[in-house]
A and B are shown apart, each in its own frame.
Chain A
Amino acid sequence: MTPAPTPADPRAELRGLDLALVALPVAALPHVWHQPLWITALVVLAIATRAWLLATGRAAPSLAAMSLLALIAGGLTFAQFGTVFGQEAGTALLLVMIAFKLLETRNRRDIVIALFLGYFVVVTTYFFDQSILIAGYSLLATALLTAALIQVHAGRPLPRRQLARQAGTMLLHALPFMLILFFVFPRVEGPLWGDPQREESARTGLSGELNPGDIASLLQDDSTALRVEFTDAVPPPRAQYWRALVMTDFDGRRWSADENRSVIEAPAPDDDDRVTRYTATLEPTRARYLPVLDYPVALPEDAELRANHQVLRDRRITSRIQYSAGADLVTPPGAGETSLDPQERARALHLPPSAAPRSRAEVALWRATHGDDDRAIIQEALRRFAGEPYRYTLQPPRLQDDTTDQFLFETQAGYCEHYASAFAVLMRAAGIPTRVVTGYQGGAWQTRGEYLRLRNADAHAWNEVWLDGEGWVRVDPTAAIAPERIEQGLTGLARDTGEEIPGFLLRGEGLSWLQRARFGLEDWGDFVRFRWESWVLAFDPERQRELFARLGLDPRDWRSVLIALGVGFGSLALIAFVWIWLRRPRQRRSPADRLLQRLSDRIARHDRSLARQAHEPVDAWTRRVGRARPDLAQPLTTFARVYNRQRFAPLTPEQRKDQLDHLRDLLRQVSRGKPAAPPAREHA
């Protein structure tokens, strides 16, 4: 259909290449941190070469040479990654391809293809980073790519300012589209093919094992694990136990989480007022557990409660998710039941026969003293931890032999894991079914944004013991040795013991203004991050269903989607229409002309024939009116004189303003004149 294009003018064909050589590196910049160095070097070299060729007016390298180079680059990519597909290898190949495309660019089509691929480069950035900073940066990159695309098609070198405005306007006008499609486009659970999770880099999270001998690496991790917003009242810090993993099996050194339990029904809250409701945003852990506030009653739809009272999602958490749940802070699971399931009881009492002989002997003494009173035994153990010589420390000595005995009788220094593990061993030795629970405790309340932020450093371990009739009751031995740890988090602990702990844990009073400013800035940063993550990144099929449901629609029904799209784009079109209508070009009249119009209207109010005709010069008109209305002749003559000077004489702005005031005065004078009174002169 299209007539043959204009014969190519080499300079016109490469117009915009200079801008493309800026825009594409900008788009590719975030990849530098995620790609092997040689890719960066290759891309920089190719682009620099092209820029040099362009600046010196040389031709692009021959196609044969380029094909050879491209083959070599493809081979190198394959050698590096073992594949050309997948996120990292695919991105590497894309970058190399664009670099070569730019290098061999000889016409407009080549530039356009390179720029289109540039949009693709921007999108691949999100494999590695989804922060709000990257979002802003990609907006800039997109604007630059679009500006380059505009320059390529502009037919002449456009001024940079005009290019920037045009590209900016286009982006701005596209934003409403983006928002409507983002919320309305029907989301489905990914992935469509392959297993993208496998490629995701490892994330930190709670370990499925607990080994008191190991170094507490998680406690040094400042990154956010979980953020929580409470629907109503915020529970006191001592009640904020976020259960994640339940560990029942112990091999003498190591506790391990067991997921292979049957699914049970979540207990229905008997009193809805007692339920603490919240919405949590969880960072990806690559595991299935959901940290829930103790004791869980209302669970999210895609999660299930296992027989060991552990809450698991139906699939691994590979991206940030949001879920809503509820907790009953008072009633533990199993409350009211007189006995524990025998099999469960056996597991919760199991100790390897050779484990912790000294501890067993100690416990036997307690039993002898307290008889059947399980509570007294628990108190005995807690009392033991509460006083000297036990210490709470984040840098405990390494444990080698029998970890329990060595800790209880030799080192007597450790953190939550040591106490939870030792306590469990003591209880089991006493015949009280006990398990270890890991999760998060404490966290920092963010006054800005009103949410609780739990870092990986807030990871904690505690116990649950079975008491007939009361169920699985939570016992936190760490609270006995270091109550500050529970009330105020690690910060309070640091103040009391003077122990050296990671700098980020130092919050509260006694800080220099510089530190306060730093922490204030960090809180702000986390607030912005959190909002970005909870409003934008956490939007998924589940959230979409909730949003649609609020409008009485369902995203799984195509008619609903059509309605939503129709309403969205309909209102958008309406707004655009009104906007264009309001901004339609109108004849702008000078202030003097507007005053003239008002004067004419005023005079015509009493005699329509005196209105100024469009063809009538101002002084001719004032003379005509002056003849019919001698009383107005004087001000009108002045008006005509000043008007003409205003319109035609070169004036300074001050003079112009003065004269406008003069015209306004005259208009008032004419308006004040009593029009009803017949001109006196006619009667004389």
Chain B
Amino acid sequence: MARVRDDAIRWITRRHAHDGQAARLGRDRIYILPTRAGYTLLGILLVMLLGSINYSNNMAFLLTFLLVGIGHNAMWYTHRNLLGLQVATLPVPPVFAGQPLGIPLRLSETDGRAREALVLRVGNRATGPFPVPGRGAETARLELSGQPRGLYRLPRQRLDTRYPLGILEAWTWLTLTPEIVVYPDPIDPGATLGGTGEDEAPASTGHAGDAPDQIRPYRPGDPTGRIIWKAFARSGKLHVREAASGQGDRLWLEWDAMPAPDTETRLSMLCHQVLAAHAEGRFFGLRLPDQTLEPGQGVSHRDSCLRALAGFRTEPIELDPEPRS
């Protein structure tokens, strides 16, 4: 049944191009149908009409037709509650495997009409109802359950609304593709911490090298552990201690050195090592069977390493919002 429904939606939406990073809701992609409450009201109006005819009561006719007008116009109101909205992806904060995912989407309004009671759905997960102010924007966060390590595509999204009367539902299907990265769950490889490199001394958990440290001004991304707080207290300026020779203190995190047989455990251990090395402010590189990341330092280097681990030997796959537990 779900398959048939899925195929039907795909057939209906086949004329729409993939949205990618942003979409604007035009008339060609907003659908509208009565809800159950809508059919109930229709029934009530029918009874009222029959009563009006039976009793030849003109005021009953007037009220019935007034409600017919309201019901008809609700179609327009509900449709316009979606029309003209812009939906765009925002960077998805990466998580570790198993941690709940929060996917932010930005809805912005440019027509000057405030929107009410929008609901954003992926599979059986929904967020909302939330409003979007006129000439403003609102960030909706889709909360999804934890996923295994990997790169993901968000399945088709549905933005819908029943505002104002709940007798009609207008909706649109979105195919926004924010980049979703799930890092491996870090596993401490134990005592064997510290990868070894062929051209250097074994890594230790302590401060690196014997050479005297170099002091240089703080740059964004430097690990906080290396900030010289005493100097900061005196001068008010942030400085960091840097290993005298990056070369000498270079640390290689090796795929082959991980004490585990299977891929996922190895990735998890490497993940732990990357985090540990970053926390210690080490200058480290990552060597995977099909990829080598040259030694570096800082948050962005850490993130590239983690991303390489997340994407190891895998292509982005469609995220399953309702994983079988």
Contact = CB atoms under 8 A, between A and B. Distances in A.
A158 interface: yes
Contacts of A536: 58-59, 62
Contacts of B123: 3
A188 B162 contact: no
B67 A154 contact: no
Nearest to B127: A6
B259 interface: no
14 contacts: A1-B33, A2-B169, A112-B40, A113-B40, A123-B51, A123-B64, A130-B57, A135-B59, A149-B164, A149-B166, A150-B164, A155-B129, A156-B130, A174-B69
Given A174-B70, A182-B58, A192-B53, 20 more contacts: A6-B128, A109-B37, A112-B40, A113-B40, A117-B44, A119-B44, A122-B63, A123-B48, A123-B63, A154-B116, A154-B163, A158-B116, A166-B164, A170-B77, A170-B164, A181-B69, A182-B61, A182-B62, A190-B54, A536-B62
A1 B44 contact: no
B73 interface: yes
B158 A153 contact: no
B23 interface: no
Interface string A529-545: 00000001111100000
Q: Is the interface of B mostly helix, strand, loop or mixed?
A: helix
Nearest to B166: A153
Contact of B54 (A126, A130, A177, A194): A194
A402 to B, nearest CB: 47
A185 B61 contact: yes
Contact of A176 (B69, B119, B162): B69
A170 B73 contact: yes
A130 B58 CA distance: 9
Interface in B146-165: 158, 162-165
B106 interface: no
Contact of A177 (B5, B68, B130, B169): B68
Contacts of B63: 119, 122-123, 126, 138, 142
A4 B62 contact: no
A150 B165 contact: yes
Nearest to B49: A185
Contact of B163 (A112, A153, A185): A153
Contacts of A127: 55, 57
Nearest to A197: B55
A343 to B, nearest CB: 39
B238 interface: no
A216 interface: no
A191 B65 contact: no
A193 interface: yes
Interface in B41-55: 41, 44, 47-48, 50-55
Contact of A116 (B44, B116, B124, B162): B44
Contacts of A171: 66, 70
Name the 5 nearest CB pairs between A and B, nearest first: A177-B69, A155-B129, A174-B69, A155-B117, A181-B65
B95 interface: no
B112 interface: yes
A617 interface: no
Contacts of B48: 119-120, 123
Given A119-B44, A138-B63, A185-B65, A191 B70 contact: no
B116 to A, nearest CB: 5
A139 to B, nearest CB: 8
A119 B50 contact: no
Kindly state the interface size class of chain B when it binds its partner: 35 or more
Interface in B1-53: 5, 33, 35, 37, 40-41, 44, 47-48, 50-53
B126 A6 contact: yes
Contacts of A680: none
A181 B65 CA distance: 6
B137 interface: no
B7 to A, nearest CB: 13
Contacts of A185: 61, 65
B55 A191 contact: yes
B165 A537 contact: no
Interface of B: 5, 33, 35, 37, 40-41, 44, 47-48, 50-70, 72-74, 77, 111-112, 116-119, 121, 123-124, 126, 128-131, 158, 162-166, 169
A126 B63 CA distance: 10
A156 B131 contact: yes
A173 B50 contact: no
A181 B68 contact: yes
B73 A174 contact: yes
Contacts of B169: 2
Interface string A105-147: 0001100110011011011001100100011001000100010
A391 to B, nearest CB: 46
A539 B58 CA distance: 7
A319 interface: yes
B68 A126 contact: no
Nearest to A191: B54
Interface in A190-206: 190-194, 196
A449 to B, nearest CB: 20
A136 B177 CA distance: 53
Interface of A: 1-6, 108-109, 112-113, 116-117, 119-120, 122-123, 126-127, 130, 134-135, 138, 142, 146, 149-150, 152-156, 158, 166, 170-171, 173-178, 181-182, 185, 187-194, 196, 319, 536-540, 585
A109 B40 CA distance: 11
Given A153-B162, A182-B65, A190 B73 contact: no
A122 B60 CA distance: 9
B60 to A, nearest CB: 5
Nearest to B116: A154
Contacts of B166: 108, 112, 149, 152-153
A601 to B, nearest CB: 28
Given A130-B58, A154-B164, A585-B112, A120 B44 contact: yes
B73 to A, nearest CB: 5
A142 B67 CA distance: 9
Contacts of B119: 6
Contacts of B40: 112-113, 116
B66 A193 contact: no
A112 B167 CA distance: 10
Nearest to A167: B164
Contacts of A149: 164-166
Nearest to A108: B166
A3 B44 contact: no
Nearest to A533: B58
B164 A178 contact: no
Given A1-B5, A170-B77, A178-B62, A191 B44 contact: no
Given A3-B124, A177-B68, A185-B61, A192 B5 contact: no
Contacts of B70: 146, 170-171, 173-174
A153 B41 contact: no
A142 B128 contact: no
Contacts of B61: 182, 185
A259 to B, nearest CB: 23
A153 B54 contact: no
A319 B56 contact: yes
A187 to B, nearest CB: 8
Contact of B165 (A120, A153, A585): A153
Contacts of A108: 166
A156 B129 contact: yes
B126 A3 contact: yes
Contacts of B162: 153
A171 B66 CA distance: 8
A6 B142 CA distance: 12
A113 B68 CA distance: 17
Nearest to B43: A116
B176 to A, nearest CB: 17
Given A174-B73, A182-B61, A155 B116 contact: yes
Contacts of B33: 1
B58 A190 contact: no
